Amino acid sequence: MDRMQFIDELIKLDFSQYKTKSKQWYGAYVLYNGKQVMCVLHRKNGVDIQVKTGNLDDCLELTEHGLLSISIDGLTRNFFNNSNCSLFDSVIYSAKCFKNRIYDHNKIKPIGNSFFNDSTYVKQQRKNKARQLKRQNDIKELKDKLDIAYSLLGYYPQDILDGLEELENQSDIDDRAYEKIEVIGEYSGDMLYGYHCR
pLDDT score, position 150: 77
Mean pLDDT, all residues of the chain: 76
Over the stretch 130-175, which tens digit does the pLDDT of each residue have? 777 888 888 888 888 878 877 887 877 787 778 777 777 765 555 5
Residue 95 has pLDDT above 80, yes or no: yes
DSSP β-bridge partners for residue 183: none
Q: Based on the number of CB atoms within 10 Å of its own CB, is 46 exposed (0-12), middle (13-18) or buried (19 or more)?
A: buried
Over the stretch 57-73, which tens digit does the pLDDT of each residue have? 888 888 888 888 887 77
Cα 192 to Cα 2: distance, rounded to the nearest angstrom: 9
- Residue pair 89/196 in contact (Cβ under 8 Å)? The answer is yes
DSSP secondary structure of 72-86: STTEEEEESTT-SS-
Q: Is 17 helix (H, G, I), strand (E, B) or coil?
A: strand
pTM for the full predicted model: 0.56
Per-residue pLDDT band for 82 (boundaries 50, 70, 90) equals low
